[in-house]
Structure 1
Amino acid sequence: MQPVFTGVADAPAAPCVAVVVDVMRAFTVAAWAFRRGAERIVFAGTLEEALELKARHPGWLAVQDGEPVPGFDLANSPGRLRSHDLRGRTLVQKTTAGTVGALAVARARLLLCASFVVAGATAEVLRRARPETVAFVVTGDGGRAEEDLACAQYIAERARAGGARPDPGPYLDRARRSHAAARLSDGVRRGLRGVHAEDVAMCLEADAFPFAMTAIREDGRLVLRPVEPGGPPSPPPA
Structure 2
Amino acid sequence: MDSRFLGTAELTETPSVAVVVDVMRAFTAAAWAFARGAEKIVLAGSLDEALALKARHPDWVALKDGPPAPGFDALNSPGRLRSVDLGGRTVVRKTTAGTVGALAVKDAPLVLCASFVVAEATARLLETRGGDGVTFVVTGEDGRADEDLACAQYIARRAAGTGADAAEFLRRAAGSRAATELAEGVRQGVHPDDVELCLELDRFPFAMVAALEGPLMVLRPRAVPAPSGVRPSSSPDSRRS
Q: 1:217 aligned to 2:212?
A: yes
Matches within 5 A, 1:24-63: 24-63=24-63
Provide the C-alpha distance between the structure 2 equivalents of 1:61 and 1:168, rounded to a whole number of angstroms.
34
Provide the C-alpha distance between the structure 2 equivalents of 1:228 and 1:99, rounded to a whole number of angstroms.
22
Deviates more, 1:67-76 or 1:6-15: 6-15
Residue pair 1:13, 1:104 contacting (<8 A) in 2 also: no
1:193 Cα offset (Å):
5.4
**Any gaps of 5 or more consecutive residues in structure 1?**
231-238
1:219 Cα offset (Å):
1.9
Cα deviations by residue, 1:24-74 (Å, 9 ceiling, x for unpaired):
000000000000110000000000000000000121001100111111000
Cα deviations by residue, 1:143-196 (Å, 9 ceiling, x for unpaired):
10000000000000110117x6x3211000000000000110121xx6x75000
Q: 1:87 aligned to 2:87?
A: yes
Residue pair 1:8, 1:104 contacting (<8 A) in 2 also: yes
Provide the C-alpha distance between the structure 1 equivalents of 2:98 and 2:218, rounded to a whole number of angstroms.
13
Give the equivalent residue in structure 2 for 1:174.
172
Residue pair 2:18, 2:135 contacting (<8 A) in 1 also: yes
Matches within 5 A, 1:70-219: 70-161=70-161, 166-187=164-185, 194-219=189-214
Residue pair 2:112, 2:122 contacting (<8 A) in 1 also: yes
How many residues are matched?
A: 225
1:131 Cα offset (Å):
3.6
SS at match of 2:195: helix
* Structure 2 counterpart of 1:198, one-letter code: D
**Any gaps of 5 or more consecutive residues in structure 2?**
226-241
* Structure 1 counterpart of 2:206, one-letter code: F
Give the equivalent residue in structure 1 for 2:16.
16
* Structure 2 counterpart of 1:15, one-letter code: P
Give the equivalent residue in structure 2 for 1:233.
none
SS at match of 1:118: helix
Provide the C-alpha distance between the structure 2 equivalents of 1:216 and 1:131, rounded to a whole number of angstroms.
21
Q: TM-score, normalised by structure 1?
A: 0.92
SS at match of 1:9: helix
SS at match of 2:96: coil
Cα deviations by residue, 1:199-224 (Å, 9 ceiling, x for unpaired):
00000001110000000111210000
SS at match of 2:88: coil
Q: TM-score, normalised by structure 2?
A: 0.91
Provide the C-alpha distance between the structure 2 equivalents of 1:80 and 1:2, rounded to a whole number of angstroms.
37
Provide the C-alpha distance between the structure 1 equivalents of 2:125 and 2:33, rounded to a whole number of angstroms.
20
Residue pair 2:36, 2:84 contacting (<8 A) in 1 also: yes
> Cα RMSD over matched residues?
1.2
Q: Percent identity?
A: 62
* Structure 2 counterpart of 1:115, one-letter code: S
